[in-house]
Amino acid sequence: MSVVAIDQVHKRYGALEVLKGVSLSVEAGQVVAIIGRSGSGKSTMLRCINGLEAFQSGTITVAGHEVRQEAARLRALRKDVGIVFQSYNLFPHLTVSQNIKLSPTITQGVKPAEAEAIARRVLAQVGLLEKFDAFPDMLSGGQQQRVAIARSLAMRPKVMLFDEVTSALDPELTGEVLLVMEQLAKEGMTMLLVTHEMSFARRVAHVTVFMHQGKIWETGPSKELFEDPQTPELRAFLSNGVK
């Protein structure tokens, strides 16, 4: 049974068609890396999965929720699907723990003592328990991104989406965030990640999807896809200094 099922999704902005009949199936515990040039539709597909973008035709089902632009459906969907962006979007006036406790308290009615325990658990999971009472501006970019991941984990999601989460970080900070994501993969979290980190995709993702011109151009087990690309477009992409 697929945890994520995308079937013939079309997405347009006016006359510009960004997704041209995209279909993808993701099983529980799978890590799927989505690669491709800027403008190929990668981030748009991810945002459609979480209901952040409306699409014109096709269907998306995630963790038993059919994605539709209805407030109640979207609230239910987002309890099971976490998303982490390139920008951390932490509230600067709240401590790390307050940032994490906010959503479970408001959307799930979690009591203060339980929210505290959840915050400690997820901060330990991303290696930042000592930053429990720190404010975001006291943290490095990599630490802020790890807090953003912890904030999503606090909702106990069934699926995690990562949209180029390391693209604003320098190599050292990128490494610490990727280590957290690799650990989540080992723990069996179902993950879809848009990434430019080819070595990470090859090593950690079970499946890699190459998007080109709004379509899924090529897909397969990561090692095979990188070692033996089947299309000239993917060969050109991988040989363009993206290793």
Cα separation, 205 vs 187, in Å, equals 13
CA distances 127 to 132, 180, 182, 232, Å, are 11, 8, 13, 41
Mean pLDDT along residues 5-17: 95
Cα separation, 148 vs 211, in Å, equals 26
In one letter, which amino acid is 76? A
Which pLDDT score is estimated for 192? Answer: 97
Q: Percentage of the chain surpassing pLDDT 70?
A: 99
Mean pLDDT along residues 35-58: 95
Which pLDDT score is estimated for 136? Answer: 96
2-239 topology per CATH: Rossmann fold (3.40.50)
Which pLDDT score is estimated for 243? Answer: 42
Give the residue carrying structure tokens 């090859």. 202
DSSP states along 155-217:
T--SEEEEESTTTTS-HHHHHHHHHHHHHHHHTT-EEEEE-S-HHHHHHH-SEEEEEETTEEE
Closest CA to 76 of 96, 93, 61, 88: 61
Which pLDDT score is estimated for 241? Answer: 53
Q: Percentage of the chain surpassing pLDDT 90?
A: 87
Closest CA to 121 of 145, 90, 156: 156
Query: Could you read off the pLDDT of 121-155 as tens digits, one per residue?
Result: 999 999 999 999 999 999 999 999 999 999 999 99
Query: Could you read off the pLDDT of 164-220 as tens digits, one per residue?
Result: 999 888 888 999 999 999 999 999 999 999 999 999 999 999 999 999 999 999 999
Query: Could you read off the pLDDT of 105-122 as tens digits, one per residue?
Result: 988 889 999 999 999 999
Which pLDDT score is estimated for 168? Answer: 84
Strand ranges (E), 67-187: 81-84, 159-163
Which pLDDT score is estimated for 1? Answer: 74
Query: Domain residue spans in the chain?
Result: 2-239
Establish how many alpha carbons lie within 13 A of residue 159's alpha carbon, considering only the half-sphere containing its beta carbon.
25
Residue 58 has pLDDT above 90, yes or no: yes
